[in-house]
């Protein structure tokens, strides 16, 4: 019987080809949209992880409570010992020191008098040690516009726009006026090694990147840093692995009675990142729901049209003695077949598109030029294992739901009218 029904399904293109095309198109869109959203949010998360939050972040408990104020007076101390212990505890992870700072940057003229001044938003990272991966991690290679990367602790990178505003070039000296971690005033000269373009207006307006040792020196933070960022072995954030690290670290190192004891938070618990993750989960749910709803309506309609076309066939089947439930179930069986084929094709095509966008990317630099968000300028799709089966959920569900709705008419049909109905 099943073979008989499938023969009919394959031969009748209006009840196989059309619904399969509809499901294929919908699943293609769903898979591609999922991979694209996944890619965008994943890129944003990774971008933020590399710049600000790491996959995990270690601060003192007091710093963590006021982290929005970047309170360097509550910085971690004896950092080198802590990193050494962390390498023993988590040998596959990498931990890097970061200091966020602010202040005034003074550009002197040839007489040493102030030529221009501007408020600076700075970040210190390890730029000059032999095995550092920070330049690669912060994607500075592609951002360098003039000059070179720092080779000494007193050399810095300035945003290209900020350098233009201060009328300075690589090789020029600038003076950072800020405070030490103990509250004293700090005035330190730096040499501009190069200029960079972050591609993010927020950073381009007044950004500066300095080597960690230079800033530690300037801010009297020897063997101290504001934050220790930890990166998992895998390229993309894995919340389960991060949670495991977070739990074991806090159990071992955090002392609830010592506000200067280190505490670890994982990326998903970061106030901004948590929103991204919620958005990511929500976006996928919304995407699937919209697809199911829209496709169900389309396929319901297709089913109704098909039902009209098959009115005679169903009538004959009822008259011959096939039960209504049997006809209804056979139609659902057909729809499952259509759903599987359509979902399979849609997944293949959707993954194909996604792979292309994953490799090539879409440059949104022009669109985002006024953005204050730290986002990458090229968005890429990201194919995850979920993308391989995600399309089957809405693909199958919508076509079955559409058929179930349209097939209700079978139960409403009165056998007493069959002879009359089948006359035409």
Which residues contact another protein (rule: CB under 8 A)? 1, 4, 7-8, 11-12, 312-313, 315-324, 415-416, 418-420, 422-424
By the 8 A CB rule, do 387 and 281 touch? no
Residue 16 or 354 having the CB closest to another protein: 16
Whole-number minimum distance, CB 401 to another protein, in Å? 25
3-state secondary structure of 273: helix
Distance of alpha carbon 79 from alpha carbon 374, whole angstroms: 28
Which secondary structure element, helix H or strand E, spans residue 207, and what is its range? strand 207-211
Q: Residues 277, 283, 286, 287: is their CA dihedral positive or negative?
A: negative
Q: Exposed, middle or buried: residue 311 (CB in 10 Å: 0-12, 13-18, 19+)?
A: middle
Whole-number minimum distance, CB 15 to another protein, in Å? 9
Whole-number minimum distance, CB 332 to another protein, in Å? 18
Residue 68 or 414 having the CB closest to another protein: 414
DSSP 8-state symbol, 49: I
**Angle, to 10 degrees, between the axis of helix 13-48 and the axis of helix 2-11?**
80
Distance of alpha carbon 30 from alpha carbon 86, whole angstroms: 42
DSSP 8-state symbol, 227: E
**Which tokens go with 45?**
């998360």
Residue 50 or 310 having the CB closest to another protein: 310
Whole-number minimum distance, CB 300 to another protein, in Å? 22
Whole-number minimum distance, CB 424 to another protein, in Å? 7
DSSP 297-313: HHHHHHHHHHHHHTHHH
Whole-number minimum distance, CB 310 to another protein, in Å? 9
Distance in angstroms between the alpha carbons of the first and the last residue of the chain: 28
Residue 13 or 372 having the CB closest to another protein: 13
Residue 30 or 335 having the CB closest to another protein: 335
Query: Each residue of 257-270: b (16+ CB within 10 Å) or e?
Result: eeeeebbbbbbbbb
Closest by CA to 378, choosing from 370, 367, 386, is 367
By the 8 A CB rule, do 356 and 343 touch? no
Residue 68 or 423 having the CB closest to another protein: 423
Residue 252 or 309 having the CB closest to another protein: 309
Residue 312 or 352 having the CB closest to another protein: 312
Residue 1 or 240 having the CB closest to another protein: 1
Whole-number minimum distance, CB 232 to another protein, in Å? 57
Residue 112 or 321 having the CB closest to another protein: 321
Q: Exposed, middle or buried: residue 234 (CB in 10 Å: 0-12, 13-18, 19+)?
A: exposed
Whole-number minimum distance, CB 247 to another protein, in Å? 60
Distance of alpha carbon 230 from alpha carbon 227, whole angstroms: 10
3-state secondary structure of 114: strand
Whole-number minimum distance, CB 14 to another protein, in Å? 10
Residues 6+ apart with CB under 8 A from 421: 311, 312, 315
What is the number of other CB atoms lying within 10 angstroms of the CB of residue 54? 29
**Which tokens go with 29?**
């869109």
Whole-number minimum distance, CB 36 to another protein, in Å? 40
Residue 12 or 238 having the CB closest to another protein: 12
Whole-number minimum distance, CB 345 to another protein, in Å? 22
């Amino acid at each position: 019987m099943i073979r008989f029904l499938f023969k009919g399904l394959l031969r009748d293109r209006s009840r196989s080809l059309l619904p399969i095309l509809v499901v294929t198109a919908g699943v293609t869109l769903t898979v591609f949209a999922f991979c694209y959203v996944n890619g965008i949010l994943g890129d944003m998360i990774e971008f933020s992880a590399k710049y600000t939050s790491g996959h995990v972040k270690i601060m003192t408990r007091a710093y963590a409570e006021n982290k929005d104020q970047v309170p360097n007076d509550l910085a971690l101390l004896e950092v080198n010992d802590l990193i050494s212990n962390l390498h023993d505890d988590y040998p596959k992870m990498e931990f890097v020191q970061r200091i966020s700072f602010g202040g005034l940057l003074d550009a002197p003229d040839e007489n040493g008098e102030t030529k221009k001044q501007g408020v600076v938003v700075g970040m210190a990272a390890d730029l000059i040690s032999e095995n550092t991966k920070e330049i690669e991690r912060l994607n500075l290679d592609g951002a360098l516009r003039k000059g070179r990367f720092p080779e000494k602790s007193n050399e810095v990178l300035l945003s290209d726009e900020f350098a233009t505003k201060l009328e300075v070039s690589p090789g020029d000296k600038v003076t950072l006026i800020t405070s030490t971690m103990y509250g004293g005033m700090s005035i330190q000269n730096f040499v501009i090694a190069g200029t960079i373009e972050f591609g993010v207006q927020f950073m381009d307006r007044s950004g500066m990147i300095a080597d960690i040792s230079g800033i530690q020196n300037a801010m009297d933070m020897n063997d101290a840093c504001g934050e220790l960022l930890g990166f998992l072995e895998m390229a993309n954030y894995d919340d389960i692995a991060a949670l495991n690290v977070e739990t074991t670290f806090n159990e071992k190192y955090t002392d609830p009675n010592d506000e200067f004891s280190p505490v670890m938070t994982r990326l998903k618990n970061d106030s901004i990142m948590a929103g991204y993750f919620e958005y990511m989960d929500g976006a996928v749910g919304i995407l699937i729901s919209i697809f199911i709803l829209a496709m169900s309506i389309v396929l319901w309609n297709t089913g109704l049209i098909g039902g009209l076309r098959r009115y005679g066939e169903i009538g004959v089947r009822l008259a011959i003695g096939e039960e209504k439930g049997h006809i209804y179930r056979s139609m659902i069986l057909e729809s499952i077949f259509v759903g599987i084929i359509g979902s399979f094709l849609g997944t293949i095509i959707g993954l194909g598109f996604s792979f292309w966008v994953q490799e090539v990317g879409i440059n949104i630099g022009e669109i985002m030029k006024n953005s204050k968000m730290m986002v990458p300028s090229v968005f890429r799709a990201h194919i995850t294992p979920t993308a391989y089966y995600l399309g089957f959920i809405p693909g199958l569900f919508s076509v079955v739901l559409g058929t179930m709705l349209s097939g209700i008419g079978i139960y409403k049909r009165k056998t007493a009218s069959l002879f009359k109905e089948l006359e035409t």
